[in-house]
Amino acid sequence: PAPAADVRSGSRPAVRAAGGPGRRPAPVAGEARFSHGPLVVLDADSDRQVVAYGVGGIVLDVPAASLPALVEWALGEAMLGAPRLHRNGRDSDPVLVLTDAAAERYGLPARLSPQERLAGRLPDDHKVVKQLAKADWQLTRRGLGPWARIYRPAQGGRRSCVQLCVLGWDALDARSWGGAADLPPAELARLLGTYATRVITPRGSTAVNGLELMTALHPPTRAGEPDASGRRHSEHNPGSLGTQPVDCAPPEAPDGHPLLAHLPRFHQRGPAEMLLEEAYDWARPLTDEECLKPYVVGIDVNMAFAAGANGAVVGLGAPTRVSRPAFDPKVPGCWLVDLSHIELDPRLPSPFTPTGTRPEGPAWYATPTVAYAVELGWSVQPLEGYLRAETGRYLDAWYGRLRDAYVATMADLGVTAGMEPQAFLDAMARHREVDPELALVLTAIKATVKGGIGKLRERPRGGGWRPGQPWPALQRPTWRPDIRAAVISRTRVNMHRKMRNLAAATGRFPVAVLSDCAVYASDGPSPLDFLPYEDGKPLKGGFQLGVSPGMVKHEGTQTVLWAEGVREEHGDSLNLARYIKDGRITAQDDGE
């Protein structure tokens, strides 16, 4: 084919196909002004020529010689960005990802100094920060750090904003992105572009992205009806969290919160003072019968916290304190109630505490936990409650987008819905080798779920707070520890319900549970050796192998001899689920 024209003037950038001259790639799906996709990865060669690698294999020549000029290029001829995810939201800003060579080309250090790493940003007197200020560009309070937002105040409703991602400053945390930062620019552009298309254009850590996705799918405001002059004004968007933060209830407040400033300095709150809805960390010794089996096998719930968010009715506004309320499972909030009288099989963890131990008296619980006690047939009489009248299924769209992203990426890796159990296990065993780059997208999607839920109760840097110190997260409408508690409560209850149904049908009980992983003693090394299937159909209400969120996959297998050995060496409290994947226990894990 004839080479594409090398367009170097006017409003369009120079474009060439990845790998050399050739036919120009088709525009990325979306609006025309974003025809080059949501982001580019910039690299510089030995001659200091900068090249931008985009999604779909596109490569752009970058004429900008300074960072302010690069921002102007990104907002103009580069045609970067992504259309809004909701009609009342806003379009995604262009993202510029800088390799070490590109960072140095624009006057930035390839690595931050120890002092800069501690501050999380370059100092305000750095020459590049001064360049931006001289060109009338501004930075947010985060300054010029690994993820920096460079903007000018909106004029006429039009935003002028670019997001910078500096790879050498650890913008892509290896815990969420694996080795993505070390990929060649074109491959990294494909990876980040896939994430941007399926989840959201990245603008920070995966936790930040998870929280931003909630707002993007449920914008806080919308355009109201025209007034007498025909002008539209912003108004609250029903079903959103609004634009102003709301106070949490005292039991929902984490230690150090300003609501608790009246407590003595070293006061330790117990369950009757603090809502403790957390994921499971429970283990028990194997029975004699279980010790005769050759294996312990772990199963892991796919996207467990996303599944816990699906269908969750949460409070949208501030709580109201109520004395001796009648329990209503449809009302979100937290309840002070005594569930210590409830007796369950000790071979199962209690569904009412993260440790799996039986409650010892009145404690605060989120609505789903109390509702599960009622489901089990027990009566409840709350002593007090902090309840929310304005409610909604705020996280449904968030769950749906992340579910679709996860399932689509798994399909690209050879794992599809509706597979027979053994075929699913075989596909899962090799899925990360099918396309290692897309496997990193999968890791990032899962981190977005957990991080997004965690951000709902974000703590100050360092974990503590003292009067006079900033706690910026408290100024966000999305600082909602009650929503986090409800999701974790539903996730833990879902896990317990399936374990209880499996025990009732087969007499098999877990020996360890950690968050979304459960370990069972088994006659064989596969989950199919203890999960019941009849005519190819799983136990109704139990664990089911499959790719969808809420279904399970194989986490790992070890021998019972291994389990007994590590328990004898490290104590009965050691949680086998933490180590079932590879069997390795380090000195740090053991607390030595």
441: in domain: no
pLDDT tens-digit readout, 450-507: 999 999 999 887 655 666 677 889 999 999 999 999 999 999 999 999 999 999 999 9
152: in domain: yes
150: in domain: yes
Cα–Cα dist 39/343, whole Å: 55
- Secondary structure class of 384 (helix, strand, coil): strand
Contact 335, 455 (CB under 8 A): no
Tally of CB atoms within 10 A around 474: 15
| Residue 228 pLDDT greater than 80, yes or no | no
21: in domain: yes
Structure tokens belonging to residue 300: 């892991």
Q: Give the model's confidence band at 229: pLDDT under 50 very low, under 70 low, under 90 confident, else very high.
A: confident
pLDDT tens-digit readout, 256-265: 899 998 999 8
pLDDT tens-digit readout, 319-369: 999 999 999 999 999 999 999 999 999 999 999 999 999 999 999 999 999
Q: What is the domain extent for residue 91?
A: 14-178
Tally of CB atoms within 10 A around 10: 7
| Residue 522 pLDDT greater than 80, yes or no | yes
Number of separate helices (H) and strands (E) present in the chain: 15, 23
Q: Which amino acid is at 515?
A: S
- The β-bridge partners of 335 are 365, 385
- The β-bridge partners of 475 are none
- HEC string of 114-154? HHHHHHCCCCCCCHHHHHHHHCCCEECCCCCCCEEEEEEEE
Query: What's the number of domains the chain is made of?
Result: 1
Cα–Cα dist 415/302, whole Å: 13
Q: How many CA atoms lie within 13 A of 219 on its CB side?
A: 13
Of 66, 75, 4, 70, the residue nearest 36 (C-alpha): 75
Contact 304, 516 (CB under 8 A): yes
| pTM of the full structure | 0.92
pLDDT tens-digit readout, 233-267: 789 999 999 999 999 999 999 988 999 989 998 89
Q: What share of the chain is helix, strand, coil (3-state, %, to 5)?
A: 35, 20, 50
219: in domain: no
254 CB contacts (<8 Å, ≥6 apart)?
Answer: 457, 459, 481
70: in domain: yes
Q: In what order do the strands lie in the sheet with 320-323?
A: 320-323, 384-387, 333-338, 362-366
| Residue 26 pLDDT greater than 60, yes or no | no
183: in domain: no
519: in domain: no
When the pLDDT of each residue in the chain is averaged and rounded to a whole number, the result is 91
DSSP assigned state of 9: S
DSSP assigned state of 244: S
